[in-house]
Chain A
Amino acid sequence: MDSLDHKRAPAAPSPTIHVMRSQLGRVRGLGAAGTGIGHWWAQRVTAILLLPLSLYFVASVLILEGASRAGMAAYMAEPWNAVLFLMLIGALFYHLALGLQVVVEDYVHKESSKLATLLILKGLIIFCALACAVSVLKLAL
Chain B
Amino acid sequence: MKDARDALMVGRNTDGKLVRRPISPHLQVYKPQMSSVTSIFHRITGCALGLGTLLLTLWLITAASGDSAFSVVQAIFASWIGILILIGFTAALFYHFANGIRHLAWDAGHGFELPVMHRSGVLVFAATVFLTVVFWAVAFLIW
- Which residues of chain A have a CB within 8 Å of any CB of chain B? 7-12, 14-19, 21, 26, 30, 44, 47-48, 50-51, 54, 58, 62, 65-66, 69, 72-73, 92-93, 96, 99-100, 103, 128, 131-132, 134-136, 138-139
Contacts and interface: CB of A to CB of B under 8 A. Distances in A.
Interface in B71-106: 74, 78, 90, 93, 97, 100-101, 103-104
B2 A18 contact: yes
Binding site of A, secondary structure by majority: helix, strand, loop or mixed? helix
Binding site of B, secondary structure by majority: helix, strand, loop or mixed? helix
A65 to B, nearest CB: 5
Contacts of B29: none
A14 B13 CA distance: 12
A107 B122 CA distance: 28
A48 B104 contact: yes
A7 B78 CA distance: 71
Contacts of B93: 54, 58
B104 A19 contact: no
Interface in B1-59: 1-5, 7-8, 10, 12, 15-20, 43, 46-47, 49-50, 53-54, 56-57
Given A44-B104, A128-B53, A128-B57, A15 B4 contact: no
Contacts of B64: 134-136, 138-139
A86 B143 CA distance: 27
Given A17-B1, A51-B100, A132-B56, A72 B74 contact: no
B47 to A, nearest CB: 6
B142 interface: yes
